[in-house]
Structure 1
Amino acid sequence: MRQHFSIVGCGLLFIAVCAAATCSADDRWVTYEGKQGPGKGKHVVLISGDEEYRSEEALPQLGKILALQHGFTCTVLFALDPDGTINPNNSNNIPGLEHLDNADLMIIATRFRDLPDDQMKHIDDYLKTGKPVIGMRTATHAFNIKGDKPYAHYGNGYGGKMTEWKDGFGRLVLGEKWISHHGGHKRESTRGLIAEDAKDHPVARGLRDGDVWGNTDVYGVRLPLPGDSQPIVLGQVLVGMNPEDAPLEGKKNDPMMPVGWVKSYEVPGGKKGRVFNTTMGAATDLTAAGTRRMLVNAAYWCVGLEDQIPAEGAKADLVGDFQPTMYGFGGFKKGLKPADFGL
């Protein structure tokens, strides 16, 4: 009898864990099942994997917000070592990209990845469908695929025979490749100002000047951005690392660089789709409610739910005790596995 109740108890515990929206079919990624909200029934795949800005911490937090507060089912992928531990320095392995095969939105925050062909194929197939993309921070230089590999044209700064892919994934899909640190790295933070002609755009809904902030620096981009790109948020370079610091005087703020923009993309042989890209998005940037709201608003806009964004902007409360690690090379928390980011 005791054994019977023990088995029942274990079963109930398993059900409870699944109900908490963290139950995944594989321990190489984590899935948060969508609760109630406009995003119910839509699947978002969030791809982490950068050595510097702690995307392995930022994307689980963003995924939890989208799932628990808006109804999107979110699958977060990680750069993993063979033993299943998260290692952002492993640039050759992000298991679970097959989840893109049934995704409604891809959010990517990788840096200089050189993934195997069978993993890259899922990204390539997704982009050919014209489904939407959100890029964060280092996604402008998401890949570094050299030589004559089948997906070398995705590499940052690509200059090969496939001329439509000049400068790689970052430029063609997101609107820019890696250019420069425009603000002073680790000494000049970023205040977001809403572009004058974007104040009525759904991504800017509920955002005021200064709501978007990050302790990362402004990235340089080439102006004007290509095609139909529309800047939504401009990055004001500040004199220090606090949101209340004064703007830096001089040419760094004249003109200001866009740090968040919308555009369309169309890869060769594919359909046209929506993009929101931000050169912000380190885990530490998500401590600002406005930065989180910008990203959640963008998710709604990307999947065509912009009419569901309230006048005050989408809800973007932190989930759990979010204490992001400061960005920097070699600073990631060692020994973690995807399950450590469950709810």
Structure 2
Amino acid sequence: MLKVCMISGSFEYDSEESLSNFKDHLKKHQLDIEVTMIVYESEDDEQSLQTLESTDVMVLFTRRLNTKGKELERFKSYCSLGKPIVGVRTASHAYQHYLEFDGDVLGGSYAGHFGHGPIAHVQIKKGNADHPILEGIPDFDSYGSLYKNPSNATDITTLMTASTSEGNREPVAWTRIHNGGRIFYTSLGHQQD
């Protein structure tokens, strides 16, 4: 049985609702799966991350949580084991006291965003249309602010990019191998995405 742990704590983007929908989708289409959700109620909420010790895949959608001490060490330990991680939007700055996670694990270089307003035109990068992660996903418009990732790790594989009418273009979905484990990150995750 595949054990998935989803961690929610990105309040601006209604991460609990998004992850709950994803959980329902997985349970409908993946027969041999167990999904545990950890839901933070605020940035200062104390949640146990002990379940990560027996988790096969972590799905992370949190933003600048103030987790410290033993629980942050559990998170770091999971990341060091080479197990799969899926990061959504604000996962690039998931824990305020471990901002290195973005560059060290996800391979990103989050440097803010271009602001609310300009629509980002999301496109599959040439040569990636047949990638299994992108199955059934067409090009589309995103209404969330486009994240800046100016100097990502050289070992990422960019799957999708987005551009604005102002000429800004950034990677918005990529994969990477970290300590032998597969990583998928997307800076998309606005409620309308």
Q: TM-score, normalised by structure 2?
A: 0.90
Which structure: larger Rg? Answer: 1
Distance 2:20 2:173 in 1: 21
More helix, by proportion: 1
Residue 126 of structure 1 and its aligned partner are, at CA, apart by 1.4
Q: Equivalent residue for 1:36? A: none
Distance 2:134 2:16 in 1: 26
Residue 59 of structure 1 and its aligned partner are, at CA, apart by 1.0
Tell me the secondary structure at the aligned position of residue 262 of structure 1. strand
What's the CA shift string for 1:55-112, capped at 9, x where partnerless?
1221111111111222332111111xxxxxxx2x3334223x2111111110111111
Distance 1:91 1:233 in 2: 33
> Relative to structure 2, which stretch is displaced further, 201-210 or 228-237?
201-210
Indicate how the Cα distance of structure 1 residues 283 and 98 shifts in structure 2: closer, same or farther if over 3 A, else same: farther
Q: Equivalent residue for 2:171? A: 258
> What pairs with 1:16-165 in structure 2 (closer than 5 Å)?
41-71=1-31, 72-79=33-40, 87=41, 89-95=42-48, 97-145=49-97, 154=98, 156=99
* Letter in structure 1 aligned against 2:106: L
Distance 2:120 2:36 in 1: 29
> What pairs with 1:241-320 in structure 2 (closer than 5 Å)?
248=165, 250-252=166-168, 256-266=169-179, 272-285=180-193
**Do the aligned residues in 2 keep the contact of 1:64 with 1:74 (CA within 8 Å)?**
no
**Do the aligned residues in 1 keep the contact of 2:109 with 2:150 (CA within 8 Å)?**
no
Q: Percent identity?
A: 28
What's the CA shift string for 1:24-48, capped at 9, x where partnerless?
xxxxxxxxxxxxxxxxx10110101
Unaligned segments of structure 1, at least 5 residues: 1-40, 80-86, 146-153, 157-167, 238-247, 267-271, 286-343
Distance 2:118 2:4 in 1: 32
2:106 corresponds to 1:174: yes
> What pairs with 1:323-342 in structure 2 (closer than 5 Å)?
none
The total of aligned residue pairs comes to 192
Q: TM-score, normalised by structure 1?
A: 0.53
Unaligned segments of structure 2, at least 5 residues: none
